[in-house]
Structure 1
Amino acid sequence: MKFLRRPAVLSAAAACLLLASAGCSAFTGAVEVAAPSPSGDAVRACRALDGALPGSVDGLPGRETDPASRWTAAWGDPAVTLRCGVPKPEVLTPGSEQYNPTSESVEVDGVQWLPEDVGDGYRFTTLRREANVEVFVPHAHAPEPEVLVDLAEAVGRAVPRAS
């Protein structure tokens, strides 16, 4: 009996290795991501970002989004999500309850991000860009800012600094 089980285990392991080497993902189904509605200069910047995004982020393979939108992207499971053309964060909006003009930001490869702990992960939103780009990183992918390293080049190149 052991002889029969061992080849089955080896075959399953070989199949997994083959799928992984082919770049296949075990993730099925699209990730629900609310699509923003950019306007003005943000449309051009988000369109450029759509064409510049990497296929994987922090080793996580890309996934489809639902609804399908050129303003959204997702990677891995649980999904890291990106939305381009979102409104300015409440914490930076004068008059909002959360307004805090002294909120700290982080810089990753020339791109400034506002980090906000939103319970089940961090939301990072670009600062001083023609379009606000929001990236949600679940705590499962800690340290969360590592994802920004793979996105900073595309954002820096595609989304110009605001004048």
Structure 2
Amino acid sequence: MNSSRHRHRSVAALPALALLITVAGCSSADDSASAAVPRPNARTAKLCRNLDKVLPATVDGERREDPQPASALTAGWGSPAIILRCGVPRPAQMNDPEADGAEVNGVGWLLHKRDDGSFAFTTTLREAYVEVTIPKDRTANGMAPLVDLAPAVRKAIPKGIAD
């Protein structure tokens, strides 16, 4: 899909987007995070393992605490956890020419607001799809987690089209 068909926001638009998606809430009493582990092909799994090796120790001021089950294809930070899953399938929203997108520090992301108030961001124009979910209780900082994750994605996941 041609990325020019997606509407993009620059990092300069972050304050407006942060205000738009700010949601008041309390953190969950359950500190244990879980994430479904993707099942990509071998080539994509290798890219994801490379990403796992270069992920930052902190994201949005929170230290890394990986979800269960343990996997090199998933990572998490804080509580409620910001969850990264690498090797996810291509989101159906990428077929929508009106889907919202953003470019953050050289990495394109598709934005999807979920019914539970959380936001999912999925990389675009990379050889593997990387999904970052920001829970509704953690949206006050807008796309700050993507700023922290962009260098690792740029380093480990080459530009291109995922299988």
Matched residue, 1:136: 133
Matched residue, 1:81: 83
CA contact (8 A) 1:47 1:71 kept: yes
From 35, 38, 45, the counterpart of 2:37? 35
* Stretch of structure 1 that moved more, 58-67 or 81-90: 58-67
Alpha-carbon distance between aligned partners in 2 of 1:144 and 1:33, rounded to the nearest angstrom: 21
Per-residue deviation, residues 26-81 of structure 1 (Å, max 9, x unmatched)? x9964211000111431221011010101110101111321111100001011100
Q: Which has the larger radius of gyration?
A: 1
CA contact (8 A) 1:49 1:159 kept: yes
Correspondence list, 1:58-97, <5 A: 58-92=60-94
TM-score (normalised: structure 2)? 0.75
CA contact (8 A) 2:31 2:80 kept: no
TM-score (normalised: structure 1)? 0.75
From 100, 103, 106, the counterpart of 1:107? 103
Matched residue, 1:125: 122
Per-residue deviation, residues 81-122 of structure 1 (Å, max 9, x unmatched)? 000000011112xxxxxx412312100000000011113211
Paired residue secondary structure (1:151): helix
CA contact (8 A) 1:114 1:125 kept: yes
- Segments ≥4 residues shifted beyond 6 Å: none
Q: Where do 5+ consecutive residues of structure 1 fail to align?
A: 1-26, 93-98
Give the fraction of aligned pairs with identical amino acids, expressed as a percent. Answer: 42
Q: Where do 5+ consecutive residues of structure 2 fail to align?
A: 1-28
Alignment coverage as a number of residue pairs: 131
Alpha-carbon distance between aligned partners in 1 of 2:49 and 2:33, rounded to the nearest angstrom: 20
Alpha-carbon distance between aligned partners in 2 of 1:150 and 1:44, rounded to the nearest angstrom: 22
Alpha-carbon distance between aligned partners in 2 of 1:82 and 1:114, rounded to the nearest angstrom: 14
The residue identity in structure 1 corresponding to 2:152 is A
